[in-house]
């Protein structure tokens, strides 16, 4: 049986735990606001190269869709961080040198620029966001124009199982007599805050049912010094997994057959002697 002192101690512990739980519930919203998850995830000398640009529009003589014009005729886009992040106190800014190579292979441009990560203002729009974003966080917290928020965070096997943040958005609008519908998926590396891929498409409907214009674009990160570019998605590795599994099964069958056929022979030989 428990003594009175032991009962008092147990009651005291239970009361203490309940009080701590109540305090934690009361303080959690305050702590969540105070503990800002955002940080600058790049350093001087880091480089990020983008390629595999694909842009299309049908019919071919259709006017360009404005949201994809910035990627028209692009072959390679490279960003190299040239200055320490946050050079100005109170402003989370990334300074970089941008190298643009166009699809004709002969035209190259070099630009020096930067982006304010809080407001989303600068030449690196979408290419750079804060690192450490979670679901529900705005990609540019202080921007009045870009209020997009992260829809999902996950470990993406396509990028070697890295932690990533995704923005998946759709929009509908009218332009003259054409109803436009667009879909955009953007994925960032959570540790560095740099874009990993962008894929978007837009379709214009006449009479709300007939597609009269359609276009899209995509690109992805192809090289960086920060982490290896993984291409180990289950779909791409599935044939290899099947082959390895088949070899293991065959080897196991051979071992079992040899074990079951050799044991009786040894026993019969021993009895015969």
Q: Which of 222, 197, 228, 207 is CA-nearest to residue 49?
A: 222
CA distances from 201 to 55, 169, 181, 185 (A): 10, 11, 8, 9
Q: How many CB atoms lie within 10 A of CB 154?
A: 14
Residues in the chain: 273
Q: Are 130 and 193 in contact (CB under 8 A)?
A: yes
Q: How far apart are CA 131 and CA 193, in angstroms?
A: 4
Q: Please report where in the chains the tokens 């667009």 appear, as a residue.
A: 182
Confidence of residue 218 (pLDDT cuts 50, 70, 90): very high
Beta partners for 101?
76, 108
Total-model pTM: 0.69
Give residue 88's Cα distance to chain centre: 28
**For 44-75, how does the pLDDT look when each residue is reduced to its tens digit (9 = 90+)?**
999 999 999 988 888 877 776 666 677 778 89
Q: Are strands 195-206 and 178-189 parallel, antiparallel or unpaired?
A: antiparallel
Of all residues in the chain, the percent with pLDDT exceeding 70 is 64
Q: How far apart are CA 132 and CA 126, in angstroms?
A: 15
Radius of gyration of the chain (CA): 29
Q: How far apart are CA 219 and CA 196, in angstroms?
A: 9
**For 177-212, how does the pLDDT look when each residue is reduced to its tens digit (9 = 90+)?**
888 888 999 999 999 999 999 999 988 888 767 878
Q: Which pair of tokens denotes residue 190?
A: 């959570």
3 state DSSP class of 256: helix
3 state DSSP class of 62: coil
Beta partners for 240?
none
Report whether pLDDT(269) > 50.
Answer: no
For residues 120-143, give the mean pLDDT.
93
Q: Please report where in the chains the tokens 């630009």 appear, as a residue.
A: 111
Q: Are 192 and 129 in contact (CB under 8 A)?
A: no
């Amino acid at each position: 049986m428990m003594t009175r002192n032991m009962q008092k101690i147990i009651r005291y512990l239970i009361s203490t735990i309940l009080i701590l739980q109540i305090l934690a519930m009361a303080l959690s919203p305050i702590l969540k606001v105070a503990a800002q998850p955002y940080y600058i995830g790049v350093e001087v000398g880091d480089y990020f190269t983008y390629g595999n640009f694909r842009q299309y529009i049908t019919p071919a003589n259709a006017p360009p869709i404005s949201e994809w014009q910035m990627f028209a005729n692009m072959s390679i886009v490279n960003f190299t961080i040239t200055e320490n992040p946050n050079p100005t106190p109170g402003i989370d800014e990334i300074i970089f040198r941008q190298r643009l190579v166009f699809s004709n292979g002969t035209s190259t441009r070099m630009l020096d620029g930067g982006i304010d990560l809080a407001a989303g203002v600068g030449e690196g729009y979408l290419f750079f966001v804060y690192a450490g974003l979670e679901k529900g966080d705005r990609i540019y917290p202080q921007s009045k124009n870009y209020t997009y928020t992260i829809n999902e965070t996950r470990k993406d096997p396509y990028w070697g199982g890295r932690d990533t943040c995704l923005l998946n958005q759709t929009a509908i609008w009218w332009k003259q007599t054409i109803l436009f519908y667009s879909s955009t998926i953007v994925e960032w590396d959570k540790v560095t805050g740099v874009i990993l891929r962008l894929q978007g498409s837009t379709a214009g409907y006449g009479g709300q049912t007939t597609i009269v214009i359609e276009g899209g674009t995509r690109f992805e990160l192809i090289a960086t010094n920060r982490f290896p570019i993984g291409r180990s998605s289950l779909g791409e590795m599935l044939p290899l997994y099947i082959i390895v599994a088949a070899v293991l099964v065959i080897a196991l069958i051979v071992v079992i057959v040899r074990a079951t056929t050799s044991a009786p022979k040894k026993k019969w030989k021993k009895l015969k002697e």
